[in-house]
Amino acid sequence: MKKENLDYTLYLCTDRELMSTDTLEEAVEEAILGGVTMVQLREKNCSSKEFYETALRIKKITDTYGLPLLINDRVDIALAVDADGVHVGQSDLPVSVARKILGKDKIIGVSARNVAQAQEAEQNGADYLGVGAMYATGTKKDAKVTSREELLKIREAVKIPIVVIGGINQKTLSNFKGIGINGLAVVSAVIAAKDIKAAAAEMVQKFKE
């Protein structure tokens, strides 16, 4: 999977506490069928063994559809299941260290909420940025909100792709069209929907219109 050809349009972050399906596998597959282009497995409340086993099951699905699977925070889990990469936050392993461990071919994304963090991530070898939280969100109660003005400054300051995250849904996505953003990172807007496939399809269509 060539990094230059990645499609960031609809980037799903999983959350088993919010999902409307019985299993995470079902939720992820429905989202992919609806048009999700990348999947980030986010497991906050489970053992390393459970995370590893879940990642193996989800990777089978993403591999079937030819989509990249990224692991949130855990470089060890990404290595263990041969995931396509990781997404790290500001308090996780530095990008340069993650890159040493994973090698040049893996995808590394970094959370950034201001220009300084974005530029540092790019300089240290990040492949893309997750910028936000753009709005207050229930999935990350401690997240500080990034203004639209700051987002535009970040877009000017870096060349790597940007996905916006935090409160991105069918109503707010129109605020990010036509400003050079590469995609939308979604959690509850898709995974908590009664019809996950339809919710994903609607977001892709609205963003591309």
Per the CB < 8 A criterion, the answer to whether 30 and 60 are in contact is: no
User: Annotated active-site positions, please?
Assistant: 42, 111, 140
- Phi-psi bin for 182: left (phi > 0), alpha (psi -120 to 50), beta? alpha
Q: What is the dihedral of CA 10, 156, 148, 14, to 10 degrees?
A: 30
Distances (CA, A) of 36 to 66, 85, 186: 12, 17, 10
Per the CB < 8 A criterion, the answer to whether 86 and 76 are in contact is: no
